[in-house]
């Protein structure tokens, strides 16, 4: 079950125990959910694999949206002055992305 205070990260964030990003997230009240890595001669246990599968299933739904937007609109930098305009253009990008998904699903 997805809770509002959980953040799903890949295994790149697990490298350092005193990672400033993780410490900042914990201070803000977030619960980081990080996929675990296996290392040589220490493979993942079945429990770790099942937990990674759950975490990855949440992440892939989100990353698909960002990947699709980047593919359609290119690696375009948002160039606006002011937060209101930036929020408007991000909202428009999300709207176009959702419209494209509806068209694709209904075909």
Whole-number pLDDT of residue 87 = 92
Whole-number pLDDT of residue 88 = 92
Regions of the chain with pLDDT less than 50? none
Q: Do 10 and 33 fall into the same domain?
A: yes
Q: Do 71 and 97 fall into the same domain?
A: no
33 CB burial (10 A radius; 0-12, 13-18, 19+): middle
Domain holding 35, by residue range, is 1-75
Whole-number pLDDT of residue 47 = 92
> If you search the block for the tokens 């997805």, which residue do you land on?
2
The Cβ of residue 94 has, within 10 Å, a number of other Cβ atoms equal to: 12
Q: Do 70 and 85 fall into the same domain?
A: no
Q: Do 5 and 29 fall into the same domain?
A: yes
Q: Do 57 and 81 fall into the same domain?
A: no
């Amino acid at each position: 079950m997805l809770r509002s205070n959980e953040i799903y990260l890949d295994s790149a964030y697990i490298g350092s125990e005193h990672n400033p990003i993780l410490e900042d997230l914990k201070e803000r009240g977030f619960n980081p959910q990080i996929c675990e890595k296996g290392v040589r001669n220490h493979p993942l246990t079945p429990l770790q694999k099942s937990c990674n599968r759950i975490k990855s299933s949440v992440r892939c739904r989100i990353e698909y949206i960002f990947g699709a937007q980047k593919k359609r609109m290119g690696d375009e930098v948002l160039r606006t002055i002011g937060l209101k305009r930036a929020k408007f253009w991000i909202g428009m990008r999300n709207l176009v992305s959702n419209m494209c998904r509806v068209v694709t699903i209904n075909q």
